[in-house]
Structure 1
Amino acid sequence: MMLAACGSDADEPPTDLETAESVGAAEALARNIEAVDFLDLELGAKIVGPQGPEVKAALSNPEGNFADMRSYVACPAGMTVCDPATAPEGTIYTYVHIVYPGEDNQPDSGSGEGADSSDVERATAFRMTRPSTGFTGAVGYSKDEAMAAIGAKADVVITCDDGALVWTVSAGDGGDQWEQAEPLTFWWQSTVPPAGPVEAYAIEANYTMAMGNGPYPGEAPDAVNACDRDIVSGAEG
């Protein structure tokens, strides 16, 4: 899962996520899911909901806003219209979340200008706070963005926590971190289309958790969640 090291970092020791130092860390590492680079996806049209093709939200808690998030759901490549009401049976939906710690530097969107938290010095995880309904096992993030934000020693380890997906981001104890205004794109695929924005996502930043709304699958009691069955598979574009 580690991005390739380069330059003077090539001989550096691996970060803490690659060399588990506790039983809990070893168990998490053993459960990690292989990530597919966001740039390798070929997506079709986006679902257009009441807020348009994208949902913008702040990830917040009583202390303030700790991130902006821009989300959308896309159909597979070749579909020029993405409407769950008319989509063929078996359509796979790709949920995409672009997370900006602190803010997105766009005053007319997300948490907005002047409404962000104090400077985010270290964000360590993006996660779902509800089960990933219909999760197919295909999941990933933008490796180029991780490299730009964190550097050559970036780790992004994807695991499941009580049926929900967790992307743990680390650069070790020193050096560059995922921090203020450095966007990272996370994605996952589901057999179930969204029912609308729901408080189902969170960021762990500055040693606190902040939550917010994003597209979330509708009710589907019979849908398989790969987190519950240890299923992993390739992405469907």
Structure 2
Amino acid sequence: MKRVLLIAPLALAACSQSEPEPTPTPSPTVAEPRTLVPAELDIDSLGAKIEGPQGPEPEAPLMLGGGEIGRIVSYVACPEGVKECLPDEMPQGTVYTFVHQITLDGVSAAEPTSGPEVVEAPPTLFRTTERAHGFNGSIGYSRSQAQTAFGSEDAVGVTVDDGRLIWRVTGTPDWQQGSTVTFWWQTTQPPAGPADAFLLEVMGNQISAMGPFPAEEKPAEAPAAN
């Protein structure tokens, strides 16, 4: 009996050491789109505009099927009180406001892609096709212009999906021809220059758009070794 009492604890210890518990593997979490509260743009809260190679308000055509169906005019402004907006001279963390004014002059509905059973109206939206670097959560549109273009000042909902910003018309998809709608957002990153980083969807058509887009964030520098 004494021999059994001495051997049993050693056998149990050997088993516990030879079979360690497996390390749990973390599973990636897919970020869901987040709904944001759109705000009205306060022009008085903006300072000077950045003067780029194409001037302070670069303009680009919106092309569809080889023809021009509208224009997009964009600009980037420094905060209120800044008389000359020079990103290289602005302190780190400066908030820049990106503004995009879209005017549609004439666009017809695209042909259905899935046959006569398609009954849901195609979406009307404006979005970034790239992650909005440095986005600080402030975003919105002109409510008075939305009233004219869509018949309601609350017609536009805003979401962020994997860092990409989306302004979606939640009521009627019709965009009153000849009307302008202004979309805006803020970031702590200055523009890197014009980029083909925007998309307009209207009446079943997808139209790429060019405009200023923020530079990517620089990775944090590692502390110097002593």
Q: TM-score, normalization: structure 2?
A: 0.71
Does the C-alpha gap of structure 1 residues 212 and 88 become closer, same or farther in structure 2, counting only changes over 3 Å?
A: same
Match of 2:85 among 69, 82, 103: 82
2:200 is equivalent to residue 197 of structure 1: no
2:97 is equivalent to residue 100 of structure 1: no
Once the two structures are TM-superposed, the CA of residue 186 in structure 1 deviates from its matched residue by 0.3
Partners of 2:66 and 2:104 lie apart in 1 by 15
Q: Deviations over 1:78-105 (max 9, x none)?
A: 0011000111222100000001123xxx
Give the letter aligned to residue 162 of structure 1.
D
- Percent of aligned positions with the same letter in both sequences? 41
Alignment gaps of 5+ in structure 1: 1-26, 103-116, 224-237
Report if the CA contact (8 A) 1:201-1:213 is conserved: yes
Alignment gaps of 5+ in structure 2: 1-31, 111-121, 221-226
Does the C-alpha gap of structure 1 residues 188 and 118 become closer, same or farther in structure 2, counting only changes over 3 Å?
A: closer
Give the alignment of 1:101-140 within 5 angstroms. Answer: 101-102=104-105, 118-119=107-108, 124-140=124-140
Partners of 2:100 and 2:128 lie apart in 1 by 11
Report if the CA contact (8 A) 1:123-1:203 is conserved: no
Q: Which of 45-54 and 86-95 deviates more?
A: 86-95
- Ranked by relative contact order (alpha carbons within 8 Å, sequence separation 6 or more), the top structure is 1
Does the C-alpha gap of structure 1 residues 34 and 41 become closer, same or farther in structure 2, counting only changes over 3 Å?
A: farther
Once the two structures are TM-superposed, the CA of residue 150 in structure 1 deviates from its matched residue by 1.7
SS in 2 for 1:85: helix
Once the two structures are TM-superposed, the CA of residue 179 in structure 1 deviates from its matched residue by 2.9
For 2:50, the equivalent position in structure 1 comes to 47
Report if the CA contact (8 A) 2:75-2:98 is conserved: yes
Does the C-alpha gap of structure 1 residues 202 and 69 become closer, same or farther in structure 2, counting only changes over 3 Å?
A: same
Give the letter aligned to residue 138 of structure 2.
A
Runs of 4+ aligned residues of structure 1 deviating over 4 Å after TM superposition are 117-123
Give the alignment of 1:33-44 within 5 angstroms. Answer: 33-39=36-42, 42-44=45-47
For 2:143, the equivalent position in structure 1 comes to 143
Does the C-alpha gap of structure 1 residues 195 and 203 become closer, same or farther in structure 2, counting only changes over 3 Å?
A: same
Report if the CA contact (8 A) 2:62-2:72 is conserved: yes
Match of 1:69 among 72, 77, 80: 72
Superposition RMSD in Å: 2.5
SS in 2 for 1:37: coil
Partners of 1:187 and 1:120 lie apart in 2 by 26
For 2:216, the equivalent position in structure 1 comes to 219
Partners of 2:89 and 2:70 lie apart in 1 by 34
Does the C-alpha gap of structure 1 residues 214 and 120 become closer, same or farther in structure 2, counting only changes over 3 Å?
A: farther
Q: Which has the larger radius of gyration?
A: 2
SS in 2 for 1:145: helix
Partners of 1:126 and 1:206 lie apart in 2 by 12
Partners of 1:182 and 1:168 lie apart in 2 by 17
Once the two structures are TM-superposed, the CA of residue 154 in structure 1 deviates from its matched residue by 4.4
Report if the CA contact (8 A) 1:131-1:162 is conserved: yes
For 1:32, the equivalent position in structure 2 comes to 35
Count, aligned residues: 178
Q: TM-score, normalization: structure 1?
A: 0.68
